Amino acid sequence: MAEHHRLAQSLGWPHLVALGVGAIVGTGILTLIGVGAGKAGPAVILSFAIAGLICACAALAYAEVATMIPAAGSAYTYSYVVFGELIAWMIGVALILEYSLVVSAVAVGWSGYASGFLNSVGWGLPPALVNGPELGGVINLPAIFIIFVVAGLLIAGTRESATLNAILVVIKLAALALFVAVALPVFNADNFHPFMPYGFPRSGAAGSEVGVMAAAAIIFFAFYGFDAIATAAEDAKNPGRDLAIGIVGSMAVCVLIYMVIAATAIGALGYTRFADSPEPLALILREIGQGTAARILGASAVIALPTVILAFFFGQSRIFFTVARDGLLPSSLARVSSRGTPVRITMFTAIVVAVIAGIFPLAKIAALANAGTLAAFVAVCAAMLVLRRREPDRERKFRAPLAWPVGIVGILGCLYLFISLPVLTQTFFLAAQAIGLLLYFVYGSRAAERARVRA
């Protein structure tokens, strides 16, 4: 690989575990727990369990495939190796959709806590500057602000931003521990009745779907941070060992955290009272008379939620970088700076996600993001099974246990979650794939061929 296309290998497994925890524990539990509770009631705990199980299967597949193919690009690269360029391009479109929307969604979630915290200390911004047009505002200025702050961190250097990320992850986990310690004493089991008010399958009119699976299809967003680790393959010092530790370790830690937080939140306050809040955990603390703890939690979220933005922004820039390096996007975007960071692609990503975050509300962005992720997870589970059949004797530094049941559950579970997504989300995703297919035949395939000839 030419030096100007080569990333600096600077991350160890502790950085990767922190990157995964930083990506997973964030907007999903701090913000989307309210959206999920509004769709499933107390059974949102079951929604978390279902989404977590499906993600665990996908995580095992990622860990195996990532250590066999330790290159940047995550599911895009694995699809390229296993299925070829066309399928890789389609998965690349899905990943670009996923990561762009995830960064935007987390930025909007951060804005909700930042605005609530500023209001609590008397420095509130006008509503027109903290909400997009669909919520009666003009633009979400705090969301745009934090995106460019994180972009600056990533441009400064990969190891430096990963070290800061690890520190902020500790702050975030401490804030969640504070929430449990303060809210658990007022736990009321009556808040769990009726447990499943909207039933199990997705139901309801388009745009207002409810049910356990409708909630799972949205809060699925809360679990998928581990795939951001796979995008760091070329940044890892020892990818064969470190990627597996980072992916499986971060997933195990976060499933436990989510179940504890969800049960504590619903036990402390009836779900209807926090379902529509942009800062549900802080609202719960205020409602139970713990204003000081709410301010601490809000401040911690403001400080630490950028870890999620950083992890996914990092992943998005690496996917764009790899696609450009393969010639499917302009190869000039795949140049790295003297510090080994892809500056051009990072700034391009920042502009794209800032526009989305400044205009659209959180729930809509999260639902759209999930569709791209589900496609990527299906591709990775399928890639693991194909490689098991095609190259059974190839060295695997991490072997997923019960690979065939795990891969099949991952594929079928992701397909069921896709069916449970809002109809608008499904339509948008299919339209994006159709546009991506057109772009491939008009531009991508010939550009990639030219890149291979130059190489």
- For residue 27, give every residue at least 6 positions away whose Cβ sits within 8 Å of its Cβ, in sequence order, or none: 105, 106, 109, 110, 221, 222, 305, 308, 362, 366
Q: Which pLDDT score, from 0 to 100, does residue 272 have?
A: 84
d(CA 69, CA 168): 30
Q: Which pLDDT score, from 0 to 100, does residue 381 have?
A: 95
DSSP structure class, residue 260: H
Of 82-86, 168-172, 281-285, the poorest mean pLDDT is in: 168-172
**Cross-strand partners of 11:** 236
- For residue 69, give every residue at least 6 positions away whose Cβ sits within 8 Å of its Cβ, in sequence order, or none: 77, 78, 81, 233
- Do residues 279 and 73 make contact, with C-beta atoms less than 8 angstroms apart? no
Mean pLDDT calculated for residue range 42-71: 85
Which of residues 227 and 216 earns the better pLDDT score? Answer: 216
Which residue bears the tokens 């356990």?
Answer: 212
Mean pLDDT estimate for the chain = 80
Q: Which pLDDT score, from 0 to 100, does residue 333 have?
A: 66
**Beta strand residue intervals within 284-381, DSSP E:** none
Of 5-14, 30-39, 40-49, the poorest mean pLDDT is in: 5-14
Is the pLDDT at 353 greater than 90? The verdict is no
d(CA 103, CA 316): 9
Q: Which pLDDT score, from 0 to 100, does residue 181 have?
A: 93
- Do residues 26 and 305 make contact, with C-beta atoms less than 8 angstroms apart? yes
Mean pLDDT calculated for residue range 382-395: 92
Mean pLDDT calculated for residue range 103-123: 80
- For residue 8, give every residue at least 6 positions away whose Cβ sits within 8 Å of its Cβ, in sequence order, or none: 158, 159, 235, 339, 340, 341
Instruction: Determine the straight-line distance between the first and last CA of the chain, rounded to whole angstroms.
Output: 9
Q: Which pLDDT score, from 0 to 100, does residue 388 have?
A: 94
Max intra-chain CA distance, the chain: 68
Among residues 374, 386, 445, 385, the alpha carbon closest in space to that of 86 is found at 445
Q: Which pLDDT score, from 0 to 100, does residue 163 have?
A: 67
Mean pLDDT calculated for residue range 35-40: 86
**Token pair in block for residue 378:** 């299906």
Mean pLDDT calculated for residue range 351-362: 83
pLDDT tens for residues 93-104? 888 777 778 788
Percent of the chain with pLDDT over 70: 83
CA distances in angstroms from 231 to 68, 70, 273, listed in the order given: 14, 9, 39
Give the other-Cβ count within 10 Å of 453's Cβ: 8
Mean pLDDT calculated for residue range 298-306: 78
Is the pLDDT at 34 greater than 70? The verdict is yes
- Do residues 25 and 176 make contact, with C-beta atoms less than 8 angstroms apart? yes
Q: Which pLDDT score, from 0 to 100, does residue 412 have?
A: 95
Which of residues 74 and 147 earns the better pLDDT score? Answer: 147
d(CA 30, CA 303): 13
Which of residues 334 and 171 earns the better pLDDT score? Answer: 171
Is the pLDDT at 308 greater than 70? The verdict is yes
Confidence of residue 264 (pLDDT cuts 50, 70, 90): very high
Confidence of residue 351 (pLDDT cuts 50, 70, 90): confident
Total-model pTM: 0.75
Is the pLDDT at 146 greater than 70? The verdict is yes
Is the pLDDT at 387 greater than 80? The verdict is yes
pLDDT tens for residues 322-345? 777 777 777 666 666 666 666 777
Confidence of residue 128 (pLDDT cuts 50, 70, 90): confident
Is the pLDDT at 203 greater than 60? The verdict is yes
pLDDT tens for residues 415-451? 998 988 888 888 888 888 898 888 888 876 777 677 6
